[in-house]
Amino acid sequence: MLILNAVINGLLFGGVLALMAFGMNLMFGVVQIVHLAYGQFIMVGLYLVYLLTVLYHVPLLLSCALATIAIALLSVLCYYSVVKPLLKAPPINQLLALAGLWIVLENACLAFFGATYKGVQVVLPVLHVGEVYIAASNLIGFGVGLITLGLLYLFLNKTYTGVAIRAVAQDAEVSGIMGINSRTIYLITFVVGGALAGITAACFVPVYAVHPHFGSAFTLLAFIIVILGGMGNLIGGFIGAFIIGVVTSVSSTLLNPEIGQIIALLICLLIIILRPQGLLGVRART
């Protein structure tokens, strides 16, 4: 029963994880960049919600919306200041510059909010169906995650911009010939990715009290999922999120949280070495 409980909560949490990984995956797929500071954006989002709700008494939902917009703007700033000048640079330079951004954001939060846990008190009931206990926070996260991903699916498939984004992801050069300005598409991708980080942060509000070191944990988690599903493979990332949700949830119930994370990271390492194209990917013939 304990395991069933963990599996169900893990699956529900996987919904939020899918959302989180989707943003990073989208940026990798379209802009071909490993966004190492993505988790830090989520962390900043959590701090913004805390700042607005607790210190300025803005209603929770409104502050979540404002934080989402702010993170989208931060993402645009990141695009213009860090990513755009390095688009032509070797991938390792992009990675390191974004690692620099990671350090900046983490320490800015440390300097501004201090090293204590800051959280918004949200009292949510724990539902129980039969003998299974479900945290309502996980259920909300799952719902928001799925709805957002559904909207994104429509956006990517039914709108002109969405189709253009997918075209650039497939082949930036040819889509350029077709009259798509890849720079505009990159910018839109960063806006969407930033907004996704903001929404993820909003889903995390009832789950976590935030600490400056959480950013790196989020980045790594998103990373593991993206690698599991294959970098840039959106559906793979979606499935990977649920796998990781269940694995970490079950192993932290049975063993302890660190062992759960270690297992997830080991899986990730094995996949980088043995199947760099991800579980679902097709190995490109060389």
Partner 1 sequence: MKFMENFRKGIPLLILVLLVICPFVFSSPYLLHIFILIFIWSYVTTVWSYMGRFGIISLGHGAFFGIGVYTTAILFNLYNISPWLGMLAGGLAAAAIAVVLGYSCFKFGVIGHYFAIATLVLAEIITLVIIALRDTLETGGKLGLTVRSLGTSPLFFQFENQLIFYYITLALLGLALLIWKKIDDSKVQRALKAVGEDEEAALSLGIDVVKYKTTMFAISAFMTALGGTAYIQFTMFADPTTCTGVGLSLGIVFKAIIGGMFTLWGPTIGSALIVVLEEYTRLALGSAFVSYSQIIYGLLIIILIRFLPGGLHGTLSDLFRQKREREVQVLLSGRQLADPHE
Provide the binding-site residues for partner 1, judged by CB under 8 A.
34, 81-82, 85-86, 89-97, 99-104, 106-108, 110-111, 213, 216, 220, 223-224, 227, 256, 258-259, 261-262, 265-266, 268-269, 272-274, 276
Instruction: Name the residue type at position 152.
Output: L
Q: Which is nearer to partner 1, 9 or 219 (CB)?
A: 219
Q: Which is nearer to partner 1, 147 or 270 (CB)?
A: 270
Residues in contact with 106: Cβ distance below 8 Å, sequence separation at least 6, in sequence order: 40, 43, 212, 213, 215, 216
Q: Please report how close the Cβ of residue 217 comes to partner 1 at its closest, in angstroms.
A: 9
d(CA 283, CA 152): 27
Cα pseudo-dihedral 243, 271, 41, 28, rounded to 10? -110
The closest alpha carbon to 185, from 203, 170, 201, belongs to 170
Q: Which is nearer to partner 1, 69 or 103 (CB)?
A: 103
Written as one string, the DSSP assignment of 27-42 is: HHHHH----TTHHHHH
Q: Please report how close the Cβ of residue 260 comes to partner 1 at its closest, in angstroms.
A: 9
Q: Please report how close the Cβ of residue 221 comes to partner 1 at its closest, in angstroms.
A: 10
Q: Please report how close the Cβ of residue 234 comes to partner 1 at its closest, in angstroms.
A: 19
Q: Which is nearer to partner 1, 35 or 120 (CB)?
A: 35
Q: Which is nearer to partner 1, 98 or 202 (CB)?
A: 98
Q: Which is nearer to partner 1, 50 or 102 (CB)?
A: 102
d(CA 5, CA 259): 19
Contact 93, 33 (CB under 8 A): no
Q: What share of the chain is helix, strand, coil (3-state, %, to 5)?
A: 75, 5, 20
Other residues' Cβ atoms within 10 Å of the Cβ of residue 191: 15
- CA 50, 56, 61, 62 torsion: positive or negative? negative
Q: Please report how close the Cβ of residue 22 comes to partner 1 at its closest, in angstroms.
A: 19
Q: Which is nearer to partner 1, 129 or 284 (CB)?
A: 284
Q: Please report how close the Cβ of residue 224 comes to partner 1 at its closest, in angstroms.
A: 8
Q: Please report how close the Cβ of residue 183 comes to partner 1 at its closest, in angstroms.
A: 17
Which letter does DSSP use for residue 128 in this model? E
Q: Which residues pair with 128 in a beta bridge?
A: 133
